[in-house]
Structure 1
Amino acid sequence: MANLLVGVDTGGTFTDIVLLQNGEFKVHKVLSTPDDPSRAILRGLNDLGILEKVGVLVHGSTVATNAVLEHKGVSTGLITTAGFRDVLEIGRQTRPRLYSLSAQKVPPLVPRELRVEVLERLDERGEVMTELDEASLARAIETLRTAGVEAVAISLLFSFANPTHEQRVARKVEEAGFYVSASSSILPEFREYERTSTTVLNAYIGPLIARYLERLEQELARSTRLRIMQSNGGSISSAMARREAARTVLSGPAAGVVGAVFAAQASGFEQTISFDIGGTSTDVALINGMASETTDGMVGGYPIKLPMIDIHTVGAGGGSIAWFDTGGALRVGPRSAGASPGPAAYGRGGTEATVTDANVVLGRLVPQDFLGGTMSLDQQAASQAVEKIAGRLNASPEEAALGMIRVVNANMEAAIRVISVERGCDPRDFTLVAFGGAGPLHACELAAALRIPRVLVPTVPGVLSALGTLVADTLKDYVRTVMVPAEVAEETVGSVLQDLERQGRQDLADEGIAPQNIRIERYLDLRYVGQSYELRIPFERDVEQAVRDFHAAHGQRFGYNDPNERVQVVNVRLKARGVTSKPELRRQQAVPDAQPETLSLRSVIFAGTGGEVVAYDAPVYARADLRSGTLFMGPAIVVQYDTTTVLPPGWRCYVDEVGNLILEQLEGR
């Protein structure tokens, strides 16, 4: 009988699978197949012998992200109000690099000749100024049909206030056989440029996601229910993901943050920073009881205003390639060796030095224990690749490898500062949750640089994103722009929240969520009158309390506030959460003075106090042998199937009751 719950995360190098059975996790990794991610998924399920037994498969996908980053979406057209076809190109006046004289804007996903206009006009209150002209709509549809577009985005002026015209356009476009993405369904919110950009992104990737999910569903057993992770950290049905594909652009990284929250809370930590190093990138996020969320995301230079976990990504991962810039400085990433050919150490033809190769040269990766011994690393190939870098630096291979690690760590450190220090939070108040295939390799050095007091390594760090898909709730986000002064907003806010809650409960019921498992979260987007940005504030009692909370939040975020200034309610938001049952991590009674069994001793290289090369004889421990209560000192290496944990000199490791590793730097180091 198909009753297994399986989580899958597709990464740039590996596809991770977590199986939950009888309260225990079983993990498996296979090399990704970028040309068709479903092939790796099916191979992994076949390896485990469970392809016909999966009841629910929750999938964190990179298909949407890659399509945007690589500009491989479908041919897309845009229908908009007459006079506004260039909104997508004009964008905003903000510049990513203020003083750059050669700044280049990313090209619009819809070229000008595929942006067509219809005669119609609403005012800012949604009242009709000019009725929709059916003849202009027919001409617009014929223009796009002649151009051979596959998908059509529809973004009419002020449709968030009154969707009637846009809904009529959408019906006609759908009848013409196009994939349709209408802003009144995707993002009924003000700000013309961001709303249009989000709607276009949804159209651009929608048919690709639809075809991919349909193909995957055909290959899975008929009884298997497929769910997809959203960027907001919740899952949605496959049918919803096909209609609103833009909600999945940060699917995989969001699942990792959900997994980090789950693992950290099991060990009693609420304030954490998730630190996920994969093969091609590092993703970091701030977790203050719950993951921080934003609606001002950017993917490949294109704004996307849908709710998503506030994740900052840098091109620094295990496969990141070392190179020299025009000034002769050593750089690492963002270019990656990916899954094929991969790092030189994989023995698949790669010859360029990567972060993985540097860790092999430094002795931090144990070649024969990689992936639990199912894949051996080629130490000689790694050394030869790093020697090319060493030659340019006029240094030894070990010095070059340390240099590569310092450079890539600096990139990761900057990413953590973005989501902590720049958000008004002190990293010293948080615990670093390290996961991904390479997270536990680098975590202690990053924590030391940022003075983060401890590192937590979950039980299955290398596949935590896949685990996150299993523990994620079903989430539905709703928004409505109201634009009313706070002092007269109580009635409007109450009415809108009532409407959104009714819709949220119905949508979750349609997904099979029982009423007792539905939780409603309410928020207001507030700003001082005249400001051009808002802060999201939880709405718990009344607008007056939300305004007081806004003043406090503004002070924390920006360093100032003005309680005497008038406040405006911009948007009303509601999150409908279908709470899923979470697996209980097995707790073990601590064994006092438990000593781990040493598998072997190996030479491991770290930087001395002056940056020099220092070799240590470090014990290698098997993660499976570490019992609750075990305490040991660094330097040490902990190997397991899905990752390797490096404990530098001056650090200690404690195994807590749920099996998580708690790493702390000794005082005075």
Structure 2
Amino acid sequence: MGHPLACRDRRSMSRLAVDFGARFADFVAWDDAGLRILKRPVSGDMAADLVAGLEALELEAERLQELRLVTTAPLNALLARRPMPVALLSTRGFGDTLRLGRQNRAALYDPVARSPAPVFLVAPEDSHEIGGRLDATGAELAPLDPADIAAAIAGLRAREVRAVAICLLFAHVNPAQELALAEAIRAALPEVSLSLSHQVDPAPREYERTVSVLSDAWLAARMDAPLAAVRAALAARGFAGELLFGDGRGVLVSDAAARAHRAILLSGAPAAAARAGADLSADGVVIAADIGSLSADMSTGRGGQPGMSETGLLAGVPLREACTDIESIALGGTRRVGTGPRGLNFDVDEGPRLDDALAALGRLPDAGVWSAPFSPEAVVAAAADRMAYALTRYATRRNIDPGRASLAVMGGTGALLAADIAAAMGLERVLLPRAPGASGAIGLMQAARRSEAFARVDLGLEALSAEALDALLDRLEGACDGSGPLVYALSLAARRQMHAMPLILGARPASGAEIGEAFAAGFRAEFGIAPPGPGYLFSIAVYRDTRGPVPPMAELGDGAATGLIATEAGAIWCPEGWRLSRTDTAYRLERSAR
């Protein structure tokens, strides 16, 4: 599907964003003045689907300056708990760390305690313990055991493992043993991908570090081959531009950054749509719902930025990863609906789909004969009520009054339900981003490119000299290209053994004392007390975000004022009593004056 804004030479378009979903891939090609949008079914072969999209858009890969990608494939595989040929190498005595997990009770009143630990990440027979030990300061107490290493290599070879996670005790303090073990594995099995905990998640607490490095290895086993095929297909067609990936923070990172830190691939797709919603929050707070084929993702935005969480729970996997604060429910166009003790629900295996109800009401084409014992109007009302309840619950848990915030709805299914959801929440207005049927790819188009550099510090603030801090910041700033302002992201705790807390500074800190003052102010604001320690700095990241040009939004057509109204991608359902208008950046669907 194309758009008149781009009825010039299609081959001149220099940027392309692609959102690979569970059923469809959305392509947005653009330059400074116009765009083209294509939605096509996916085959499961990402490289082939990308090439097919390029051909359908008549784009020449060698002319592209940028290619921006996100995919739901790893997240969907994680949701399915799909096993991968992954192994874990840990310090002797710590092989059960994953299965023991944290002993917090997930459900306080459940008489049978069940650990939420993601044990599917590695099979018990693929977990190997290696003799050798460091103390808490990083000093070696015992060297690595060569016999254990040889036995582990034999096990990896016999099980045809493709990715290995290495997580040794206190490696975040001294990585020497992890590096030595990785060198031995690489020499024996050069084709195996290696993930090292001190590189993936260099912070204390063994369980969290084990989960992080296993997730990285799991992603290597799942995504390295299809992404390598994408790179090869692009190279074969002369692509010499920049390959960028949308990450879980709603920004773009380089291909090299994605290879080094694979967890950013997990929530890149929902975060891209959250970015499209957040761009509607420049004048206040927005709560957003992206409703697609299988699920609805909720997010917030404030001042043009998506709401963030310093830790994420993705498909039940806890990650110490700053990411867009997204929560999902099982509601989408292909979800089947049936009756239950509390009325209609969307958690059944048989029955009509939500899409069938929308088609029966004229909101989608190809309506079949409706034969369910409940009406399609009841299905749509149930879907709107479920989404309204979930959004209200999600917002209030984040101290947002849903009655005072703006509501944004997107996604192919969302654009057909937007007015129903607003009405169910008692709202008179709902916003939709441009091309709501391709919100993920539009979010990629609008996202900023992040250039960042990171360094471990591991020093108490009182021991951090101004000279050492200056030298470190000079080095990190020199590695950040782009034109945006520099931002300083620090990870600190009151004392070394405590949980880290993020601190974001918009100005370059001059000393450890200045960092300590900012940390104390942030700690008081968060917890209401002074920090119980002088301050310990784990790491510093410096970054800058650079935004590129975005083409102007299309005018609304001169067609019907109600019913299905076409946009650049996807149609918006405007019922009787509502009217649709547009701003420079969005559509506004609101009740007509009574």
Common fold: TM-score over 0.5: yes
CA distance in 2, matches of 1:317, 1:299: 19
One-letter code aligned to 1:355: L
Aligned partner of 1:32: which letter? V
Aligned to 1:647: 574
Label 1:210 to 1:667 Cα distance change in 2 as closer, same or farther (>3 A): same
1:354 aligns with 2:356: no
* 8 Å CA contact 1:518, 1:576 repeated in 2: no
Distance verdict in 2 for CA 1:318–1:498, change over 3 Å: farther
Query: Normalised by the size of structure 1, how large is the TM-score?
Result: 0.76
Secondary structure of 2:439's counterpart equals helix
1:471 aligned partner:
446
1:155 Cα deviation from its structure 2 partner = 0.6
1:378 Cα deviation from its structure 2 partner: 1.3
Contact 1:160 1:480 in 2 (8 A): no
Q: 3-state DSSP class of the match of 1:12?
A: coil
Equivalent position amino acid for 1:358 in 2: A
Cα distance, 1:230 vs. partner? 1.5
- 1:638 corresponds to which of 565, 581, 586: 565
1:241 aligns with 2:258: yes
Deviations 1:414-472 (A, max 9, x none): 44245421122222342222221122222333334445564221222211211222332
CA contact (8 A) 1:409 1:446 kept: yes
Structure 1: tracts of 5 or more residues without a match? 336-350, 368-376, 555-560, 600-618, 621-635
Conserved 8 A contact 2:520-2:531: no
1:446 equivalent in structure 2: 421
- State the distance in 1 between where 2:146 and 2:275 align: 47
1:213-292 paired onto structure 2 within 5 Å: 213-220=227-234, 221-225=237-241, 226-262=243-279, 264=280, 268-289=282-303, 290-292=305-307
Question: Where does residue 433 of structure 1 map in the other structure?
Answer: 408
Q: Is residue 46–residue 230 contact of structure 2 (8 Å, CA) maintained in 1?
A: no
Residues in 1 aligned to 2:502 and 2:393: alpha-carbon distance in whole angstroms:
19
Equivalent-residue separation in structure 2 for 1:543 and 1:665 (angstroms): 51
The one-character-per-residue Cα deviations of 1:53-91 (angstroms, maximum 9, x if unpaired) are: 433211011222123223445311111111100001111
What is the distance in 2 between the residues matched to 1:285 and 1:328?
Answer: 27
What amino acid sits opposite 2:504 in the alignment? P
Q: Percent identity?
A: 25
The 3-state SS of whatever aligns with 2:87 is: strand
Partner of 2:403, secondary structure, is helix
Q: Who is 1:168 aligned against?
A: 180
Q: 1:70 aligns with which of 64, 80, 85?
A: 80
| Equivalent residues, number | 567
User: Which of 154, 165, 186 is the matching residue for 1:153?
Assistant: 165
Change (3 A) 1:451 1:166: farther
Map of 1:141 onto structure 2: 153
Between the aligned partners of 1:194 and 1:273, the Cα distance in structure 2 is 30
Q: Show the counterpart of 2:226.
A: 212
Q: Check whether the contact 2:87–2:161 (CA below 8 A) recurs between aligned residues.
A: yes
Whether the 8 Å contact between 1:55 and 1:224 is mirrored in structure 2 is yes
Unaligned runs of 5+ residues in structure 2 are 1-10, 507-513
d(CA) in 1 for partners of 2:228 and 2:155?
29
CA root-mean-square deviation: 3.3
For 1:522, the aligned partner's letter is A
Instruction: Give the Cα–Cα distance (whole angstroms) in 1 for the partners of residues 493 and 286 of structure 2.
Output: 27
Whether the aligned pair in 1 keeps the contact of 2:489 and 2:505 (CA below 8 Å) is yes
Per-residue CA deviation, residues 354-397 of structure 1 (Å, 9 max, x unaligned), is 1222122233x1x4xxxxxxxxx211x2x43xx22x2xxxx4x3
1:10 match: 20
* 1:521 to 1:418, Cα distance in 2 relative to 1, 3 A: farther
8 Å contact kept, 2:559–2:565: no
| 1:317 has 2:354 as partner | no
Q: 2:70 matched to 1:60?
A: yes
Secondary structure of 2:166's counterpart equals strand
- In the alignment, what sits opposite 1:307? 322
TM-fit CA distance, 1:403: 2.8
The answer as to whether partners of 2:381 and 2:420 remain within 8 angstroms in 1 is no
Structure 2 equivalent of residue 614 of structure 1:
none
1: CA distance between counterparts of 2:172 and 2:389?
38
Query: Are 1:160 and 1:481, in contact at CA under 8 Å, matched by a contact in 2?
Result: no
Aligned partner of 2:486: which letter? R
Map of 2:132 onto structure 1: 120
Contact kept in structure 2, 1:483 and 1:568, CA below 8 Å: no
Instruction: Note closer, same or farther for the CA distance 1:162–1:452 as it changes in structure 2 (3 Å cut).
Output: farther
Matches within 5 A, 1:37-56: 37-52=46-61, 53-56=63-66
Q: Separation in 1 of the partners of 2:398 and 2:353?
A: 32
Q: Distance in 2 between matches of 1:41 and 1:244?
A: 23
Q: What is the rounded CA distance, in whole Å, between the counterparts of 2:474 and 2:394 in structure 1?
A: 35
SS at structure 1 position matched to 2:380: helix
Provide closer, same or farther for how the CA distance between residues 545 and 507 of structure 1 changes in structure 2, counting only shifts above 3 A: closer
The amino acid that maps onto 2:489 is: R
Contact 1:11–1:279 (CA under 8 A) maintained in structure 2: no
Deviation for aligned residue 1:283: 1.0
1:154 and 1:652 map into 2 onto residues whose CA distance is 58
Q: CA 1:451–1:89 in structure 2 vs 1: closer, same or farther (change >3 Å)? A: same
Superposed CA deviations along residues 326-366 of structure 1, whole A, max 9, x for unmatched, are: x484211487xxxxxxxxxxxxxxx9411222122233x1x
What's the TM-score, normalizing by structure 2? 0.85
Question: Counterpart in 2 of 1:192?
Answer: 206
Paired residues of 2:195 and 2:217 also in contact (CA < 8 A): yes
Match of residue 522, structure 1, among 475, 478, 489: 489
Q: What is the CA–CA distance in structure 2 between the aligned matches of 1:134 and 1:478, rounded to whole Å?
A: 33
Structure 1 counterpart of 2:98, from 73, 88, 94: 88
Q: In the alignment, is residue 549 of structure 1 matched against residue 522 of structure 2?
A: yes
- Which AA in structure 1 matches 2:438? V
Give distance in 2, aligned partners of 1:530 and 1:506.
Answer: 28
Instruction: Give the residue type in structure 2 aligned to 1:420.
Output: A
Contact between 1:272 and 1:287, CA under 8 Å: does it hold in 2? Answer: yes
Q: Say whether the 8 Å CA contact 1:496–1:572 is kept in structure 2.
A: no
Inter-partner Cα distance in structure 1 for 2:391 and 2:468:
37
1:286 Cα offset (Å): 1.4
Q: How many Å apart are 1:276 and its aligned residue?
A: 1.0
**Deviation for aligned residue 1:2:** 8.0
Find out whether 1:110 has 2:83 as its counterpart: no
Change (3 A) 1:530 1:3: closer
Deviation at 1:598, TM superposition (A): 4.2
Letter aligned with residue 229 of structure 1: G
User: Does 176-185 or 229-238 show the bigger shift?
Assistant: 229-238
Q: Which whole-Å CA distance do the structure 2 matches of 1:196 and 1:499 have between them?
A: 32
Q: SS state of the match for residue 298, structure 2?
A: strand
Alpha-carbon distance between aligned partners in 2 of 1:37 and 1:79, rounded to the nearest angstrom: 31
1:662 aligns with 2:558: no
Shift of 1:578: 4.2
1:338 aligned partner: none
Aligned to 2:395: 420
1:606 maps to none
> Residue 99 of structure 1 corresponds to which residue in structure 2?
109
Aligned to 1:378: 366
Alpha-carbon distance, 1:131 to partner: 3.0
Q: 1:271 to 1:88 in 2, by over 3 A?
A: same
Match of 2:432 in 1: 457
Tell me, in whole angstroms, the C-alpha distance in 1 between the residues paired with 2:498 and 2:390.
Answer: 26
Deviations 1:88-119 (A, max 9, x none): 11111234433234565453321222111112
Name the SS of the counterpart of 1:423 in structure 2: coil
- After superposition, give the CA deviation of every residue in 1:598-641 in whole Å (9 maximum; x if it has no partner): 44xxxxxxxxxxxxxxxxxxx44xxxxxxxxxxxxxxx542335
Distance 1:259 1:523 in 2: 27
